[in-house]
Every structure is written in structure tokens, then in C-alpha cells.
Amino acid sequence: MQLTIKASGENADAISYLLAKNPNNLYERMHNGHLVRMFYTACTQEKLDVTFFVTPDSIELSRNRSEIYDITSYINDREFAVSSIFCTLLRTSLGTALNGKPKEEYQKWVDHQFAFQFEFGPLASDLSDEQIKNLFEPLGYSVSVTYGSNDYRFSMTKQSAARSITLEGFVTLQNGLRQLFVLIPVLDNYKHYFIDEKEVEKITRYGEGWLDKHPERNFIFERGLRFKEMIRLVENTTSSSEELPPVSTSIRLNDQRYEKIIQVIQSLEAHQHIVDFGSGEGKLSVQLGFVEGVKEILAVEPSQRSILQARHRFEKASAEEGFLLPTSITGSLFYYDERFMKKDVMILCEVIEHIDEHRLPKVMDTILHHYQPRTLIVTTPNADYNSVYNLGKDYRHDDHRFEWSRDEFTQWCDTQNHQNNYQLAFNGIGTKHDEYGTPTQMCIFTRKEQ
């Protein structure tokens, strides 16, 4: 994967200071096993030519880092084509230029427009050449798209599907790079990491001054953020006059889930002892720590990486008055642990859809008939609502094994309660659609008096 930056005209050599890279040195850095290499072929007062190569370790991507790079375990073109992986690996090397923070004596060049040529590839995209041009031409670039040629000894195809993109225009280095870092993942239509509010913040920051005015703004958001909860958060943090469909609330869906779960817990007579299964980075558990009357919170998570992040979040909250420190436990729903017996509340917040359907009955049998909590709270996406997101047959997250309609979820919950020890109550979370309901569905299992 390659990005070449060329510039011509007076003071072109100033760009090397904006990049914070010495033209006399070969730059090589390893980032989590992946090699980023940079070298200049020209750096004079009138001309600059610098190339960045990214050589990912495909084995590292597909095996050792599967919990970070959510991609197939088999080799494919994603490791070798420009994508969000490419941008992530390159971002560290271009941090000074992206942030516009060179040494003070070179700060004056941050807002200076140069005659740039950006060339990147290979690109494997489902977009047509015309659609690619529609993304870059409104920014003032002339765009050329070239295809590689194949020289096979047998008949296969005369032209490679991979493309190389060249952009030419007057722009500041910072804006040019930020535009690439927003639009390359749009071209690829894939992100190897979970899309959350941090991604919204990054896109709005990198898009400042140009993205709101872009005629393909909505398309960029749809491809870059994938889900309308994320798009709506952008709408609340920008001042564009070109509005997306209005919504009745500015609260993110994830926060609405946590708020609803906490409301349910506060309404329960018994909520002193709580188990948060699949607690992840501890975002819900840390809020539970401020609920009055709670005496114990067990944050159960199999990922050590997430546990470390959760502990850091817990430590920060510990400085606040009235906070009960959750206990982090490395655990799994598939292994019995007597520490979870007879608790007041158990929570499965957006957990079950990450488990293969055929394994779920064992999980629920362990919870309902062995752990026997007084209350079990389960939330999961409502597949009916995916029509509002125009997802087609796609799931909301690449790691989801299924997404159920409201009828399917109701039937499944009834089936799990086969011993009839619990009363079931169903509810919805998020903005309600007249036909498709709410984006998240909830079932509250309440143990009957024995």
C-alpha cells in the first residue's frame, strides 16, 4: 500500500518540515508488527516528492490481532489494498502533519496552499470511477484513475480490478491528508475496528471546513459511519444547513440503553448485588457504580484487553464521591462460576447477538436454572428496525452472529423460560418507528416467588 505526495512551486521544501521528516534520512518504523517506510526522491525549494509504503504483516492481521482487526482469517486483498488498515498504520507517521503542529518556526506553512499531487493505491472498491471522482472533484482536485494490466500466460482478464488514484489541486498539506483519511475508508466501505463516538469525533475533526459543504456529505457519512445512530450524532455536532432526517433525541443509542437499564435496576426492590456479563470496557459497570443501594458489581469479561481498559475507567471514577468500585472478573458465559449464584440482577447488554445461536440455550440454562438471579435483563438489536437504517441483509456489526425481529426475540425468550420460573416483560429502547418499533429490544426476566 502506497501514498506518494508530490508538490511543486516556491518553498516546496517547507513541506518536509510539516511532515517532520528529514529528507536525508530513510524513515522506517514498525507499528504492531507492520512496517511503515518513507523516503524522498526529491526535496528542493521548487519540488518535493515523498512516498510512504505500508507493508502489513498479513499473518498478524488475520491471527494474532483478530480481536483488534476484525477481518477474515484468510489472506485476501484487504491486507494489500488501501483501506482503514492503511490509514491506521500511516496515521502515527503523519501525526504532525494531520494535527498541524510542526515546530513553531514552521507554523506559518500549515495554512499555506501548495500545488499538490496525491497518488495512492492499490484500491479495491465497489465504487465506479465516476463515483470516486464525485468524492474528490468538489474539493477542487482533478482526478485520474488508472488500472494495472495483467500479463497472464493463460486467459483470465486483461485488466486488473485494482486501481490507482491520482489527485491534483491546490490545498494545504493538513487538509489534503485529512480529506484522504476520511475518504479512503469511504472508498473501501469497510472498517476493521468498531465504529463508535470516537470515530464520529475523528470524522468531524478531520472534516472541519470542507465536509459540511460537500455535495456527497450524506453518502460519506453513510459509508464512513455505517449506522444512523452515528450519523445522527454528527448531525448534533455540526452546523450544516443540509440536514439529515430529523430525530427526536440527541442522546446516543448506547447511552439510552444504559439509561434504561439503570432505570429498571433502580425500580427493583432488590438490586444490591449485580453481575454485568460481557462488560467490555466497563462503560455500563461504571455507571452502575453510582446507583444508590448497590453493594456489589461484578464486571465479567473474557477479553484481557477490555478488562484493562475497564479498570482504567474504574480508577478514574473512584475519585468521585459515592462511587462503588466494580470488581473485574475474567470469565465466560460458557463456564459455571459459583460466585454468580443467586445475585439480585444479571445483565446481558448487547451480548447474545455475538454468540452462535446454537450455543445460547446452554448459556440461558446456566443463568436461569443454575445461577437463578432475581432479575435478568437482556437487550439485543431489533432486526425489524434495520429497515430504517437501509441495511438490507447486513447486520449492524460485523461480529453479530444474528439479529432477531421482535417476534423472534419474544419466542426465543419464552423458549428459554421452559421451566416457567420467570415472568417476562418486553420493552423497547431508542426512537420508536411506527412500523418497525425501536432499534433495541429488551426482555426483563423476573423470578417468581417460590
On whether both 164 and 30 belong to a single domain, the answer is yes
DSSP notation for 284-310 = HHHHHTTSTT--EEEEEES-HHHHHHH
Mean pLDDT over each residue of the chain, to the nearest integer: 84
> Into how many domains does the chain fold?
2
How crowded is residue 211: how many other Cβ atoms within 10 Å of its Cβ?
23
Q: Is residue 279 part of a domain?
A: yes
| Closest to 100 (Cα-Cα) out of 212, 17, 218, 201 | 17
Domain assignment of residue 366, given as a range:
253-447
On whether both 179 and 288 belong to a single domain, the answer is no
> What amino acid occupies position 371?
Y
| Closest to 325 (Cα-Cα) out of 311, 342, 308, 306 | 311
Q: Is the pLDDT of residue 59 over 60?
A: no
What own/partner pairs with CB < 8 Å and gap ≥ 24 does 383-391 have?
A: 383/408, 384/436, 384/437, 385/430, 385/433, 385/436, 385/437, 385/438, 385/439, 387/436, 388/228, 388/433, 388/436, 388/439, 389/227, 389/228
* Tens digits of residue pLDDT in 403-424: 999 999 999 999 999 999 999 9
Q: Is residue 207 part of a domain?
A: no
Average of per-residue pLDDT across 265-271: 95
CA distances from 332 to 140, 149, 280, 304, 397 (A): 53, 51, 12, 12, 21
3-state secondary structure of 317: helix
The beta-strand segments (E) located in 225-352 are: 273-277, 296-301, 327-330, 345-349
Q: What share of the chain is helix, strand, coil (3-state, %, to 5)?
A: 35, 25, 40
On whether both 334 and 431 belong to a single domain, the answer is yes
Lowest mean pLDDT, pick from 221-225, 337-341, 353-357: 221-225
On whether both 40 and 131 belong to a single domain, the answer is yes
On whether both 187 and 261 belong to a single domain, the answer is no
378: domain CATH number is 3.40.50.150
| Closest to 194 (Cα-Cα) out of 84, 308, 276 | 84
CA distances from 134 to 118, 124, 199, 288, 353 (A): 16, 17, 23, 47, 37
Q: Is residue 216 part of a domain?
A: no
* Tens digits of residue pLDDT in 132-180: 999 999 999 999 999 866 554 544 444 446 789 999 999 999 999 999 9
Q: Is the pLDDT of residue 249 over 90?
A: no
**Model confidence band, residue 32 (pLDDT cutoffs 50, 70, 90):** low
* Tens digits of residue pLDDT in 356-376: 999 999 999 999 999 999 999
116: domain CATH number is 3.30.1610.20
On whether both 21 and 123 belong to a single domain, the answer is yes
Q: Per the structure block, which three cell numbers stand in for 212?
A: 459540511
Angle ∠(142,123,143) on CA atoms, nearest 5: 5
Lowest mean pLDDT, pick from 31-35, 97-101, 212-216, 267-271: 31-35
Q: Is residue 268 part of a domain?
A: yes
Q: Is residue 427 part of a domain?
A: yes
